[in-house]
Amino acid sequence: MSENRNPQHLNGPMPVLFVGHGSPMNAIEDNRWSREFAALGGEFAQPTAILAVSAHWYVNGTYITGNEQPETIHDFGGFPQALFEVEYPSPGHVSLARQVRGILEQERASLNSDWGIDHGSWSVLRWMFPKADVPVIQLSIDRRQSLKRHFEIGRSLAELRDENVLILASGNIVHNLRDAFSRKRVGDIETPNWARRFDESVKQAVIDHDSARLLSLATETDDGRQAHPTLDHWLPLIYAAGAGLETDGTRFTSEGFDWGSISMRNVIFQ
């Protein structure tokens, strides 16, 4: 796990990070993806706190974790016992949660102590910050909102970057589990053309800061509908892009596919 700090963030706003988290097993396996998660820990100075937006808190409503000591949520099944034994004991940050609630006042956001840190967040954070010494809060994704509104919520959170808060969005740019499982089952790890095309289209839209195109790709193109039968793993990227600034550059610290059709692309807006 990475302890190296060679930060590119020294002055100016904290970067925004989108991570393709993939399988929960990346949390405990030493593989290409987990090593790239660990390398992310050296990309910027240690933040004061982390606001995580995970594909796995996809609910009817806008909530922010308000726990002083958030629970490690094992929101999966059918995996080895070792994965269920992982704990990521980072502290919460109640005052930051209240601040975010104020920023999102028109969403009628509320603090929630029933959730904690789910694997979309901790499977990445345990490699980035293995000491679990950075406070973490999570923001839910309200499935009832429009794509444009999700982007606007991300934009409203951008002010936190000036307070040394890392916005960490975790999902996957291509996430069709039915296709991925079928390929894994028969040992076919070839990435289909539609997945490659969609991943490249998203990459270009991000580079161009083309928010209109980004908001349309998953729902208005054939490749997008195949890449995202549901939008839970797509929307974290929309939050990250919203929190990005027009003056930000974009870097891709990981590119590639797991199980054939799960994009593991990471994006830094900086």
Give the pLDDT of residue 177.
87
Assess if residue 197 is contained within a domain: yes
Q: What is the pTM of this model?
A: 0.93
Assess if residue 11 is contained within a domain: no
Pick 105 or 187 by higher pLDDT: 105
Query: How many CB atoms sit inside 10 A of residue 119's CB?
Result: 26
Average pLDDT over residues 137-152: 97
Residue 73 has pLDDT above 70, yes or no: yes
Assess if residue 1 is contained within a domain: no
Strands 266-269 and 16-20: antiparallel
pLDDT band of residue 11 (cuts 50, 70, 90) is low
Assess if residue 196 is contained within a domain: yes
Stated as kind and residue range, the H or E segment containing 35 is helix 32-40
Contact 24, 177 (CB under 8 A): no
The CATH number linked to 219 is 3.40.830.10
Tens of pLDDT, residues 189-233: 789 999 999 999 999 999 999 999 999 999 999 999 999 999 999
Assess if residue 3 is contained within a domain: no
Give the pLDDT of residue 221.
97
Stated as kind and residue range, the H or E segment containing 58 is strand 49-59
Residue 185's domain comprises: 16-269
Give the pLDDT of residue 167.
98
Assess if residue 150 is contained within a domain: yes
Say how far apart CA 243 and CA 35 lie, in whole Å.
26
Give the pLDDT of residue 10.
53
Give the pLDDT of residue 260.
84
Assess if residue 157 is contained within a domain: yes
Tens of pLDDT, residues 98-114: 999 999 988 889 999 99
Query: Which residue from 171, 194, 198 is spatially nearest to 266, judged by alpha carbons?
Result: 171
Domain count, the chain: 1
Residue 7 has pLDDT above 60, yes or no: no
Residue 4 has pLDDT above 60, yes or no: no
Assess if residue 54 is contained within a domain: yes
Contacts of 225 (CB under 8 A, 6+ apart): 218, 219
Give me the percent of the chain exceeding a pLDDT of 90. 84
Say how far apart CA 168 and CA 237 lie, in whole Å.
10
Residue 24 has pLDDT above 80, yes or no: yes
Say how far apart CA 98 and CA 139 lie, in whole Å.
12
Taking each helix axis from N to C terminus, what angle separates 211-220 and 147-157, rounded to the nearest 10 degrees?
140
